[in-house]
């Protein structure tokens, strides 16, 4: 079986973790923002209708 070789040569060990961490950071920012917005919008709308 051919081992997986990432582009970047001897520096691949540093390059791809940098891209991985960036992707994780963006994933957290987007998820946290969307879930927070949805949660508070729903709560505000529910309280509005109960008024």
Partner 1 sequence: MFAALANPLRFMAFSRWAAPILGLAALLLTGAGLTLGLSAPPDYQQGDTVWIMFVHVPAAWAAMLAYGCLGGASFISLVFRHALADQAAKAAAPLGAAFTGLALVTGSLWGRPMWGAWWVWGDARLVSVLVLFLLFLAYLALRASIDDEAKAARAGEILALIGLINLPIIHFSVEWWNTLHQGESILRPGGPALAPVYLLPLLLTGAGYSFAFGALWLARTRAEVWRRRATALALQAALR
Nearer to partner 1, 1 or 48 (CB): 48
Q: Does 37 bind partner 1 (CB under 8 A)?
A: yes
Q: Does 31 bind partner 1 (CB under 8 A)?
A: no
Q: Where are the alpha helices (DSSP H) in the chain?
A: 12-50
Nearest approach in angstroms of CB 51 to partner 1 is: 7
Nearest approach in angstroms of CB 42 to partner 1 is: 9
Q: Does 4 bind partner 1 (CB under 8 A)?
A: no
Question: Do 11 and 3 form a contact (C-beta atoms < 8 A)?
Answer: no
10, 20, 33, 36, 50 from 45: Cα distances, Å: 54, 37, 18, 14, 9
């Amino acid at each position: 079986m051919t081992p997986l070789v990432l582009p970047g040569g001897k520096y691949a060990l540093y390059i791809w973790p940098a891209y991985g961490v960036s992707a994780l950071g963006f994933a957290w920012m987007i998820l946290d923002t969307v879930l927070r917005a949805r949660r508070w919008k729903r709560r505000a709308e529910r309280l509005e209708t109960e008024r």
